[in-house]
Amino acid sequence: MTITQETDLEQVKLFLEANGFINNRNNDYVNPDLGIILEDLHDENVLTKNDMLYFIDSVIYTTKEFWTNK
């Protein structure tokens, strides 16, 4: 993939917060309602092409809330 611009980590944060994720430390996020944890979202693991964010090589965990029927 050819990236078209440098990734702005503030844009990553805004995107994730708009989707219910909370920045809990450095470049790690958690969505307690969905039970999803995303880690290692630094600028080498989130690429930007034509203003679209591409998450690569991210670490994804699930919690018990993910597996609970709601």
**33-55 pLDDT tens trace:** 999 999 999 999 999 999 999 99
Q: pLDDT grade, residue 70 (50/70/90)?
A: low
Has residue 3 been placed in a domain?
no
> Domain limits at 56?
9-67
How many angstroms separate the CA atoms of 42 and 4, rounded?
17
Q: Find where tokens 């994720």 sit.
A: 21
Q: Is residue 1 part of a domain?
A: no
Q: Confirm if 32 and 22 have CB atoms less than 8 A apart.
A: yes
Evaluate whether residue 52 is within a structural domain: yes
Task: Report the pLDDT averaged over residues 46-70.
Answer: 92
Specify the number of domains making up the chain: 1
Structure confidence at residue 69 (pLDDT): 67
SS (H, E, C) the chain: CCCCECCCHHHHHHHHHHCCCEEEECCEEEECCCCEEEECCCCCCEEEECCEEEECCCEEEECHHHHCCC
Residue at 48 is within a domain: yes
